[in-house]
Amino acid sequence: MDQYEMQAKFGKGIVFFVILFIAFVILVKSIIVVQPGTVGVRVLFGKVNPKTLKSGLHLINPLVNVVKMSVRTEEYTMSIASAEGYKSGDDAIDALTSEGMKIRLDLTAWYRLDEAKAAQVYETIGINYESKIVRPVLRTAIRDAVVKYTAASIYTEKRAQLVSDIERIMSELLKDRGIISEKILLRNLILPKRLMEAIDIKLSAEQAAQQMEFVVMKERKEKERKIVEAEGIKRANEIISSGLTDRYIKWYRIDMMKQLVDSPNNTIIFIPEDMRSTPIINIPAQK
């Protein structure tokens, strides 16, 4: 084999390995794994494929860029504490009640990306949809809900209803944006100090009034019980009196004397018939 043949053979070998390497790279680029809790959004030359890739192994066009987006439940917190909220510093929201009173709410929103609309969210909003959509919608929902209630009602019996209204409004605002609102957690409610003191005084007065009503009701029931008891005793005496005829009394006296005569101590008691003479009682001395 001459030198030219060796060079040609060597060149063919290099070409083969280059082709094999390129094929390997293309194969590697064509295989993608989408991790659990995420979906893949395919972008090819600036165009977004509306069909997302679910978790698992996929074979794709090697020229496609796949953007991973989480579909797990996320939380967005607006808190007074600087280290708790999504934004640093005091991020609790101020809202006006129906009477124009300003209150502050410290809460957390649970939400998640709609898996079927992940491509739409990426194309129309981007990956930072928390700050662009979730935060403004949450603030709007809070203010729209709070304005329907008085501060006192929110502090006392309407807290759960307020949370329900915030959840409903937020879900309506997000339903066409590809984001699903799951739950609102109202962690803290801050009212002006004077209002809180006035509410506490009112609640204490209401509790005292309720306690007094209970005492009055208890006394009324006791009175009714005593009346019923007295009426029962009166009725019983009337029944007994109506049955005490002269013949019954004579029979009852004879029966009692018979029982006394038959008693073990042999005591003899003589009671006059007209009950006007002194009874004679004979008790024998003990042996």
Cβ(123)–Cβ(47) under 8 Å?
no
pTM: 0.58
> What's the N-to-C CA distance of the chain in angstroms?
158
Answer whether residue 9 is part of any domain: no
DSSP per-residue letters across 14-76: HHHHHHHHHHHHHHHHHEEEEPTTEEEEEEETTEE-SSPBPSEEEE--TT-EEEEEE-S-EEE
pLDDT score at 32: 84
Do 78 and 192 belong together in one domain? yes
The two tokens of residue 168 are: 């409903």
Answer whether residue 227 is part of any domain: no
Per-residue pLDDT of the chain (287 residues; tens, 9 = 90+): 555 566 566 566 676 666 776 666 666 667 788 889 999 998 888 898 888 888 888 877 788 888 899 999 999 888 776 556 556 556 778 888 888 888 888 889 999 999 989 999 999 998 888 889 999 999 999 999 999 998 888 877 888 999 999 999 999 999 888 999 999 998 888 776 776 666 666 666 666 677 777 777 888 888 888 888 888 887 777 776 666 666 666 766 777 766 666 666 655 555 555 555 555 555 554 54
Answer whether residue 10 is part of any domain: no
Do 93 and 40 belong together in one domain? no
Domain total for the chain? 3
Structural domain of 44: 16-70
Do 183 and 104 belong together in one domain? yes
Cβ(87)–Cβ(57) under 8 Å?
no
Q: Residue 180's domain is classified under what CATH number?
A: 3.30.479.30
Do 127 and 25 belong together in one domain? no
Answer whether residue 135 is part of any domain: yes
pLDDT score at 179: 93
What SS3 state is found at 110? strand
Do 20 and 103 belong together in one domain? no
Q: Which of residues 197, 232, 254 is at a domain's end?
A: 197
Do 157 and 117 belong together in one domain? yes
Do 103 and 146 belong together in one domain? yes
DSSP per-residue letters across 150-164: -HHHHHTT-HHHHHH
pLDDT score at 195: 64
pLDDT score at 279: 54
Do 23 and 98 belong together in one domain? no
